[in-house]
Amino acid sequence: MENCIFCKILKQEIPCFKIWEDEKHLAFLDVNPVNPGHTLVVPKKHEDYLFDLSDKEYTELMLAAKNVAKILKKRISCKRVGVGVEGFGVSHAHIHLVPINKAKELNPEKAKPMDKEKLKEIQNKLTS
């Protein structure tokens, strides 16, 4: 879909800090993380609203998020990986996975830009 930033990332027109990928999904670091390791999991097929995905697509996306959450939990020091969906920022369905140590940390208002070097460092930690 034109003008969708995630579709542009999927077409490699915009770079991203990729963490994981399979045939139907891509996971990459949020450049405005709530906490270090904050990752977005997106279906490769453009769909605006998460709950407009078919049952199969929805289930596969959730399973993809589970895979990525396991990677985050193993490589980033945190008690849990929090899950968030609101979808007002980018109109391409996506799941936020945020390493957290307490519930209050799962707060989109805490999101702030992270510099590329730090993002690269986290990407290396998650993919090496």
**Residues of the shown chain interacting with Zn ion in the complex, contacts defined by CB under 5 A:** 1, 4, 6-7, 46, 92
Q: Which of 88, 93, 94 is nearest to 109 (CA)?
A: 88
- β-pair type (25-29, 18-21): antiparallel
In angstroms, what is the minimal distance from the CB of 29 to Zn ion?
Answer: 18
Quick one: 5 or 111, whose CB is closer to Zn ion?
A: 5
In angstroms, what is the minimal distance from the CB of 8 to Zn ion?
Answer: 8
Check 38, 92, 94, 96 and give the catalytic one.
94
In angstroms, what is the minimal distance from the CB of 25 to Zn ion?
Answer: 13
Quick one: 24 or 70, whose CB is closer to Zn ion?
A: 24
43: β partners: 25
Could you count the other beta carbons within 10 Å of the beta carbon of residue 73?
16
Cα separation, 128 vs 113, in Å, equals 23
Q: Is 94 a catalytic residue?
A: yes
> Which residues belong to the active site?
94
